[in-house]
């Protein structure tokens, strides 16, 4: 049964890469206008983001009353205008909330080293990116999967990370379904503001 699951997972990854490779470059967008009202509300609730009702781009995360908070920028859809990034060479923990005083430290699981992600929001101090709210993507894992290029031959995830990604898959309606999301420190990953390319 374990072998079958791994095989199916490998097939899913391969199909995912094939669907992405129809275009050589995927550029990031800082415009969240392509998010539907429902998608934006879901993101705000999941990430603990609060936005000014009269000015949707004025968003924060953390404890505003105590002054322990970040300004937040929401990015576009991971389907229409993805902002890609990749976890560094160490596995990392996805956090439910930004790192502020008094946070409960709840997590959403761990991601493997070099895991490809889509950046959905960024928490900033002044203009410095401090934390990213990311969603792991169901493709492109392997020792040669680094930097801004997708893998030619993605590999199955290590066993210790398979449970976190077990339900993550392509979805014909939403683009992706069941993919883990959470906050990570900017120092734990690389953001690809110039987009993502597929090796020729």
Asked if residue 176 is part of any domain, the answer here is: yes
Structure tokens at 106: 């709840």
Lowest mean pLDDT among 49-63, 86-100, 115-129: 49-63
Q: How confident is the model at residue 145 (pLDDT cuts 50, 70, 90)?
A: low
E runs forming strands in the chain: 25-26, 49-52, 55-63, 68-74, 84-87, 92-95, 107-111, 116-125, 128-136, 169-171, 175-177, 181-185, 189-191, 196-197
Q: State phi, psi for 106 to the nearest 5 degrees.
A: -65, 145
Asked if residue 200 is part of any domain, the answer here is: no
Task: Compute the average pLDDT of residues 124-141.
Answer: 89
Residue pointed to by tokens 């992706």: 176
Structure tokens at 153: 């031959």
The conformation of residue 6, written as its DSSP 8-state character, comes to H
Please give the tally of structural domains in the chain: 1
Asked if residue 135 is part of any domain, the answer here is: yes
pLDDT, one tens digit per residue, over 46-61 is 999 999 887 767 899 9
Asked if residue 199 is part of any domain, the answer here is: no
Residues 43 and 28: their CA atoms lie apart, in Å, by 18
Asked if residue 152 is part of any domain, the answer here is: yes
Query: If we measure between CA atoms, which residue out of 51, 12, 17 comes closest to residue 35?
Result: 51
Higher pLDDT, 193 or 22: 193
Distance of CA 81 to the CA centre of its chain: 13
Pairing of strands 181-185, 68-74: unpaired
Report the alpha-carbon angle 157-160-163, nearest 5: 80
Asked if residue 91 is part of any domain, the answer here is: yes
- Residue 21 confidence (pLDDT): 37
Residue range(s) defining the domain that contains residue 26: 2-194
What 3-state DSSP class applies to 149? strand
Mean per-residue pLDDT over the chain, rounded: 77
Element (H, E) at 163: helix 159-165
Asked if residue 160 is part of any domain, the answer here is: yes
pTM: 0.79
């Amino acid at each position: 049964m374990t072998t079958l699951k791994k095989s199916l997972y490998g097939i899913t990854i391969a199909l995912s890469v094939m669907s992405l490779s129809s275009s050589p470059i995927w550029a990031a967008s800082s415009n969240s206008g392509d998010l539907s009202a429902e998608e934006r509300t879901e993101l705000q609730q999941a990430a603990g983001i609060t936005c000014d009702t009269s000015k949707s781009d004025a968003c924060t995360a953390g404890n505003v009353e105590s002054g322990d908070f970040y300004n937040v920028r929401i990015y576009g859809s991971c389907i229409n205008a993805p902002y890609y990034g990749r976890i560094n060479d160490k596995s990392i923990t996805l956090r439910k909330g930004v790192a502020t005083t008094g946070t409960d430290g709840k997590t959403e699981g761990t991601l493997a080293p070099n895991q490809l992600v889509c950046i959905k929001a960024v928490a900033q101090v002044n203009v410095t990116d401090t934390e990213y709210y990311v969603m792991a993507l169901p493709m492109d894992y392997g020792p040669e999967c680094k930097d801004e290029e997708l893998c030619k031959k993605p590999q199955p995830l290590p066993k210790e990370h398979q449970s976190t990604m077990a339900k993550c898959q392509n979805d014909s309606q939403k683009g992706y379904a069941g993919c883990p999301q959470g906050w990570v420190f900017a120092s734990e990953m690389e953001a690809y503001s110039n987009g993502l390319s597929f090796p020729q």
